[in-house]
Structure 1
Amino acid sequence: MAPIGESILRSAIGLGLFATITAGTIAATQVLTEDRIDQQVRKAEASALYEIIPEQTHDNDLISTTVPLTPHPLLGIREPAQAWIARNDGYPVGVILPVVARNGYSGDIRLLVGIDPDGEVLGVRVTSHRETPGLGDKVELRKSDWIRSFEGKALGRPEVDRWRVAKDGGSFDQFTGATITPRAVVGAVRDALLYFRDHRQQLLGEPASATKQEPGQ
């Protein structure tokens, strides 16, 4: 083979090896990064579960007491997931639903929404988001107390059509300079309450009229 032909062949082989190694490195990095992100989300979820429903309020293992969920537009989930059920003396005291607000300013906002058997919000926590630092990230409890504004609220408190930010004529404050993020979160919590209302028996394993009876009743 002529020297020029050998040089071209060596260059082609070298480029091919370089492309293969580069592609492999990128793929491996992507897999490792995704695994690391998933681990962080799961860690955040585990911590948030007990912030929403503290250990002293139930006697079961909250993390392992789950109900399977199928994809549903009200929850924003597009693949099978699970809800966590808190029980005390066998009675349900709360359910925590995984919710995804698909209309955040910078993408999906993943939430956990805790609801008691009567449909009242026990707490809300954001477990993952990409909102703008200093503006949209105020949905994080460590950045502001805004996320606590849902506690004690329910469908009817306020009315469903008031489950919007103040700028849209609703009952919830938005952030200075940021409306899209709180708008998305308020809508997602409202939809979680609607889902709970429609799937209460499936989630809690009892009719909607069932309540814990005190001794002698």
Structure 2
Amino acid sequence: MIAQSMYRNGAILTAFALVTTGGVAVVQSMTAERIALQEKQHLMQLLGQVLSADEYDNKLYLDCTSSNAPELGPGSPHIIYRATKAGEPAALLVRHVTPKGYSGNIDILTAVKADGSISGVRVTRHEETPGLGDKVELAKSDWITSFNGLTINADNAKQFAVKKDGGQFDQFTGATITPRAVVASVKQAVEYTQQNFDALFAGKNLCAGDVQ
């Protein structure tokens, strides 16, 4: 009797585990496509914030390469989206990271046009102090738009720093570390992109297999 009871209870537990596992798998299958769609929509929204739609005519999320360049920060490889217009290179949208934020890594997206100018910059993830360092977010401040339209060359490279360091970018009251880190990272990413623009466009397309 005891053996039969143990067998029966074991069978019940096994059946319960199988049903539970199956249910989780079904839910994951049903939600995976929706999650993927939401992630793609969020990505397109971010890309659209740094590069105007009239600057390109391809689907950015279907054309990308990557780079392990140290100038783009830790966590490589870094994805670089390639914008074209009428088949010609128009801009590169570079994901890069600075580890020098006050509270750790700051993830950044920077768009560099074919002429070397900056189309736009957005901080995509950070853990900076609310009310201080979080002003790098567009939702908190328009500071990040200070990069729009700028370029970097031998004549103005030293200006790519916060004012406290002799540059042109405002620092935040009580929070110089965060804007200093972002400016330095953007400068490195832009200079790297300018120097490797053609080579990055020539690289293999890593996004070609994505579902439209």
Q: Distance in 1 between matches of 2:154 and 2:41?
A: 32
| 4+ residue segments displaced more than 6 Å | 39-43
- 1:57 partner letter: E
Q: In the alignment, is residue 125 of structure 1 matched against residue 103 of structure 2? A: no
Could you tell me which residue of structure 2 aligns to residue 83 of structure 1? 80
Q: Map of 1:1-217 to 2, 5 A cutoff?
A: 44-69=42-67, 71-156=68-153, 159-205=156-202
Task: Deviation per CA, 1:29-71: give whole Å up to 9, x if none.
Answer: xxxxxxxxxx8987654321011113333111111111122x2
User: How well do the aligned residues superpose, as a CA RMSD in angstroms?
Assistant: 2.3
- Distance in 1, Cα, partners of 2:179 & 2:39: 20
Q: Is the 8 A contact 1:41 1:127 kept in 2?
A: no
Question: Are 1:119 and 1:197, in contact at CA under 8 Å, matched by a contact in 2?
Answer: yes
Identity %: 42
SS of residue paired to 1:194: helix
Give the AA of the match of 2:63: T
Which structure ranks higher in relative contact order (CA pairs < 8 Å, sequence separation ≥ 6)?
2
Distance in 2, matches of 1:101 and 1:42, equals 24
Letter in structure 2 aligned against 1:204: F
Asked if 2 retains the 8 angstrom alpha-carbon contact of 1:97 and 1:113, the reply is: yes
- Does the Cα contact within 8 Å between 2:110 and 2:121 map onto a contact in 1? yes
Any unmatched runs of 5+ in structure 2?
1-35, 204-212
Using the alignment, how far apart are the partners of 2:135 and 2:59 within structure 1?
31
Mapped partners of 1:142, 1:155: distance in 2:
26
Q: How many residue pairs get matched?
A: 168
Aligned equivalents of 1:201 and 1:120: distance in 2?
15
Contact 2:162/2:170, CA 8 A, preserved across alignment: yes
- How far did 1:158 drift? 6.6
User: How far apart in 1 are the matches of 2:110 and 2:142?
Assistant: 16
TM-score, length of structure 1 as denominator length: 0.71
Supply the distance in 1 between the matched residues of 2:105 and 2:200 (Cα, whole angstroms). 25
Residues 1:107 and 1:180: Cα distance change in structure 2 (over 3 Å): same
Q: Is the 8 A contact 1:45 1:127 kept in 2?
A: no
Superposed CA deviations along residues 74-106 of structure 1, whole A, max 9, x for unmatched, are: 100432232101111001111100110110000
TM (normalized to structure 2)? 0.73
Letter in 1 for 2:106: I
Relative to structure 1, is the Cα distance of residues 158 and 185 closer, same or farther in structure 2, using a 3 angstrom cutoff? farther
